[in-house]
Each structure stands twice: as C-alpha cells, then as structure tokens.
C-alpha cells in the first residue's frame, strides 16, 4: 500500500457498507475517518482537516444535504462527493446547488470512485496554489517561514510555531498595518466564533507578542471590539 497522505471524511450510516468502503480506501492509500451519521460527521469535520468529504444522503439525525450545508458554511473549498441509493434528478440538482462536487449512485464501481477522488483533490490543490503562503516573509528583524512554521530573529535559532500560531501570524502579516478582524480569524482558524474560541485566540495573540518583543519596532495592537493590527516601524514613522 502506498500512502498518499490524503485525509477523507466518510459519513455513512450503513455499518457494513461504511466499513467496507473505509477499508478499501485505506488499502488505496487514503487515511479515512468514518462517521455513522451527520451529527457525528460534522463534529469530526470541525476537529480535523480533510482533503475530501464523502457523504451519504439518507442518514438519521442529520441528512447529507444538511451536513453539506454546514460544511460549506465553514469551508468553501474541500470537495464533497454525495453517495445515494436514489438517482432522482431533483436530489442530484439539490446536491450540486448546495455545493457538491460530484455524485455517485449506489451501487457504484469502486475504481471510478478512486478516479473521482484523485481528480477532485488535484483540482482543489491547483486552485489553492495561488494562495499558497510564501516560504520567506520579512517582519522587521524576523524571518517568518509559513511553510516550515518557523520564526527566526536575526541569527538566533528558529522558533517552531504551532499550526494555530502559524495561521494567526500569517493572517496578521497579510493584513499588516491594517485591521485583522477578530471574527474573520476565529472563523478561518477555529471554525467557530464563541466565548471559548475567542479566549483561546487571545492566548495565541499573547504568545505571538512574546515572540516578537525582541524587535521593539513591531507591535500587535488590540483594536477594541474589532480585532488586531500588526504595526511595523514603517507605519510608526
């Protein structure tokens, strides 16, 4: 088995079918997280990052259409493939309208599914190449490498950043000397905007301030009720 390091969220309420499909995808190099219904599926989606989602349409507690809407409210790019026992035109059109990328009617050829997954993931990866972060960003006396998740001050050893620290600093850099909306950062990094995620973000802001304090020309300013602003010496001058 050759691993392709691609993560799949499979949401299927048929225990036997779900298990067989998960094992088949695993054998073909995918890393599969299996959920048994829409409620469980959305919880797993919020806690992990996936390259593609495969959703059964007819499920208890929360159907595939509702789940897809919730996923699309948080993530506009991860491909979604619907699985259904029905091939009704209305259902297919409804799925595409919600934001599905493809549709398969049971029973289907497993090799065709593999081809579809490969094409959809490659297409999505190409579409996000334009937004791929630079490998070297100068911030005052620091060198920030978003790809390696490192922050280096002058000739000091690099500081390794956590994924959230990295994402938050990248967003601050992209809006340098301008406002980074608190709500935007919470939705993009934490996938939720509530009291607990807001407090969590404050902790990460404090960590970034600690990292950057070696360069007195830099400041992460708090814009009360709005968000944060990375201020550089150029703006100060």
Does some domain include residue 144?
yes
Radius of gyration of the CA atoms of the chain, in A: 21
pLDDT at 236: 47
Measured CA to CA, the distance from residue 229 to residue 231 in angstroms comes to 6
Is residue 145 domain-shared with residue 194, that is, in the same domain?
A: yes
Nearest to 170 by CA among 152, 154, 151: 151
pLDDT at 234: 53
Is residue 63 domain-shared with residue 23, that is, in the same domain?
A: yes
pLDDT at 1: 44
Single out the residue in 76, 106, 130 at which a domain terminates.
Answer: 130
Task: Count how many domains the chain has.
Answer: 2
Does some domain include residue 125?
yes
Is residue 93 domain-shared with residue 174, that is, in the same domain?
A: no
Single out the residue in 101, 130, 159 at which a domain terminates.
Answer: 130
Is residue 15 domain-shared with residue 109, that is, in the same domain?
A: yes
Does some domain include residue 1?
no
Which domain CATH number covers 207? Answer: 1.10.10.10
Q: Which domain holds residue 189?
A: 137-236
Measured CA to CA, the distance from residue 139 to residue 129 in angstroms comes to 23
Helix axis angle for 110-127 and 15-27, nearest 10°, is 60
Is residue 105 domain-shared with residue 153, that is, in the same domain?
A: no
| Average confidence (pLDDT) per 10 residues, the chain, 237 residues | 74 95 95 95 90 93 93 86 80 82 88 91 67 76 91 94 89 91 88 82 94 94 93 64
Is residue 13 domain-shared with residue 122, that is, in the same domain?
A: yes
Does some domain include residue 179?
yes
Is residue 13 domain-shared with residue 115, that is, in the same domain?
A: yes
pLDDT at 126: 63
Is residue 69 domain-shared with residue 168, that is, in the same domain?
A: no
* CA 103 to each of CA 69, 70, 86, 87, 99: distance values in angstroms, whole numbers, following the listed order: 15, 18, 11, 9, 11
pLDDT at 49: 83
Report yes or no: 172 and 186 within 8 Å, Cβ to Cβ: no
Single out the residue in 87, 108, 130 at which a domain terminates.
Answer: 130
pTM: 0.56
Is residue 114 domain-shared with residue 229, that is, in the same domain?
A: no
């Amino acid at each position: 088995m050759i691993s392709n390091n691609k993560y799949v969220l499979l949401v299927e309420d048929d225990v036997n079918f779900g298990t067989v499909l998960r094992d088949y995808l695993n054998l073909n190099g995918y890393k599969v997280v299996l959920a048994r219904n829409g409620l469980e599926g959305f919880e797993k989606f919020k806690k992990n990052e996936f390259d593609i989602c495969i959703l059964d349409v007819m499920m208890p507690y929360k159907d595939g259409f509702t789940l897809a809407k919730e996923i699309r409210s948080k993530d506009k790019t991860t491909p979604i493939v619907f699985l259904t026992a029905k091939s009704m035109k209305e259902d297919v059109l409804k799925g595409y309208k919600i934001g599905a990328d493809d549709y398969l009617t049971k029973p289907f050829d497993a090799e065709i599914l593999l081809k579809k997954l490969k094409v959809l993931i490659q297409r999505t990866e190409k579409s996000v190449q334009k937004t791929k972060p630079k490998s070297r960003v100068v911030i005052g006396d620091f060198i920030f490498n978003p790809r390696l998740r490192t922050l280096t001050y002058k000739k000091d050893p690099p500081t390794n950043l956590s994924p959230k620290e990295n994402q938050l600093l990248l967003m601050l850099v992209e809006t340098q000397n301008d406002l980074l909306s608190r709500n935007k950062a919470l939705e993009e990094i934490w996938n939720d905007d509530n009291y607990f995620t807001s407090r969590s973000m404050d902790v990460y802001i404090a960590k970034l301030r600690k990292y950057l304090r070696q360069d007195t020309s830099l400041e992460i300013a708090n814009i009360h009720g709005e968000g944060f602003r990375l201020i550089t010496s150029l703006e100060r001058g």
